[in-house]
Amino acid sequence: MEVIGGKWKVVILCHLILGTRRTNQLKKLMPGITQKMLTQQLRELESDGVIERKVYNQVPPMVEYTLTEYGSSLKDILDSLCKWGENHIVKVHGVNHDLLEESILNH
């Protein structure tokens, strides 16, 4: 739970499951997150060994984040978590399915 318990970590991980992403791509995928939180959560995921940070020395800067092989072992958890979470949100909050992505990914 310490590894995936941060407010945005599961969301970040779900995005990275789909492939490598740049910092700004992640930011656009999660409009509700602040720059500070994004960096912070990414650093923690990195130091836990589940994602990798690749810096390209150029101007303007470019940084890519990728799921490590170890991080990929979280896929099962993420999947069952997302599945359960969707049902739960629909059940408890009565959100219809079209609003789910927005509801989940932005908050």
Partner DNA sequence: CTGTATCCTGATAGATACTG
Partner DNA sequence: CAGTATCTATCAGGATACAG
**Position 1 contacts its own copies (CB under 8 A):** yes
How much is the CA Rg of the chain, to the nearest whole Å?
14
Contact of residue 104 among DNA, its own copies, none (CB under 5-8 Å per partner type): none
Q: Convert residues 11-40 into a mask of x (bound to DNA by CB under 7 A) and - (unbound).
A: -----------xxxx-x-----xxxxxxxx
The 10 Å CB-count burial string (b at 16+, else e) for 89-106 is beeeeeeeeeeeeeebbe
Neighbours of 11 (CB within 10 A): 22
Residues 29, 72, 1: CA angle, nearest 5 degrees: 80
Shortest CB 80 distance to its own copies, Å: 5
Structure tokens at 10: 């599961």
Residues interacting with DNA, by CB under 7 A? 6-7, 22-25, 27, 33-43, 53, 55, 60-63
Residues interacting with its own copies, by CB under 8 A? 1, 3-5, 10, 48-49, 73-74, 76-77, 80-81, 84-85, 87-88, 92
